[in-house]
């Protein structure tokens, strides 16, 4: 196990300086969700920028891995549920380890596999926000992810899916799948929440990687 990675989110507001420090455990194996990827820092920064709207809201993180965005939400007053694939027990264990490392032992960790109607997914309580950091990593998973997101948004029509992704290929797109599943996406410029930098929250992330942020929600009947 590598040394935990430290993140410190800070911003002046209301005449005082607000700050939040978190640590995440990392395993030096980038094949799994055991490492803080560049997208996690950007999504966590977005969550931090929306912290005033989070108290009392229920937030579900999909494919949580080290769970940085979800833990920011929990520390900002949201009722958070963390999830990762039920087929990856090492990722679920890392979610729990992150929670314990940051004094969040009460946060539930659920096994939810994208594209599968598992009991944990069917039993979820209502949610207001869904988080997904770099879940659009492999094109073969894109439809499974959006199937799960659509199911959640159909059950919670006012909810939103906040997600970041790393641009890896100009040929990869989810536009056709969004249309198929009657979803719409709204791009969020990184500069609008202070994430247009190479080093966020006192870390080396996201570096020089190209990261995009968007909010996905149900499309109206006219497609908008």
Give the single-character DSSP code of 10: E
pLDDT digits (tens, 9 = 90+) for 118-150: 999 999 999 999 999 999 999 999 999 999 999
pTM of the shown model: 0.95
User: Which pLDDT belongs to residue 3?
Assistant: 81
Angle value at C-alpha 16, between 12 and 20, nearest 5 degrees: 65
Cβ-contact 175, 184 below 8 angstroms: no
Q: Which two tokens stand for residue 137?
A: 């990593």
Q: Which two tokens stand for residue 171?
A: 């040929």
The DSSP H or E segment spanning 191 is none
User: Which pLDDT belongs to residue 35?
Assistant: 85
Segments of the chain assigned E as strands? 5-13, 16-24, 58-62, 79-84, 109-111, 129-133, 160-166, 183-187, 211-218
Cβ-contact 16, 46 below 8 angstroms: no
Query: What is the β-pairing status of strands 5-13 and 16-24?
Result: antiparallel
Give the single-character DSSP code of 203: S
pLDDT digits (tens, 9 = 90+) for 179-199: 999 999 999 999 999 999 999
């Amino acid at each position: 196990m590598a040394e935990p990675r430290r993140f410190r989110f800070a911003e002046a507001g209301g005449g005082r300086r607000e700050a939040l420090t978190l640590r995440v455990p990392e395993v030096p194996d980038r094949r799994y969700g055991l490492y803080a990827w560049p997208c996690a820092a950007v999504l966590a920064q977005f969550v931090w920028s929306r912290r005033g709207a989070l108290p009392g809201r229920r937030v579900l993180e999909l494919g949580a891995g080290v769970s940085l965005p979800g833990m920011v939400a929990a520390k900002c007053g949201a009722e958070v549920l963390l999830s990762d694939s039920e087929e990856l027990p090492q990722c679920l264990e890392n979610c729990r380890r992150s929670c314990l490392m940051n004094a969040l032992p009460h946060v539930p960790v659920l096994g939810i596999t994208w594209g599968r109607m598992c009991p944990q997914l069917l039993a979820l309580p209502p949610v207001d926000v869904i988080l997904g950091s770099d879940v659009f990593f492999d094109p073969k998973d894109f439809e499974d992810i959006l199937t799960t997101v659509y199911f959640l948004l159909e059950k919670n029509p006012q909810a939103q899916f906040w997600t970041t992704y790393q641009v890896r290929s100009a040929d990869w797109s989810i536009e056709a799948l969004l249309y198929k599943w009657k979803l719409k996406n709204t791009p969020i410029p990184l500069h609008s929440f202070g994430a247009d930098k190479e080093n966020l929250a006192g870390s080396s992330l996201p570096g020089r990687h190209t990261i995009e942020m968007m909010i996905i929600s149900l499309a109206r009947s006219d497609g908008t």
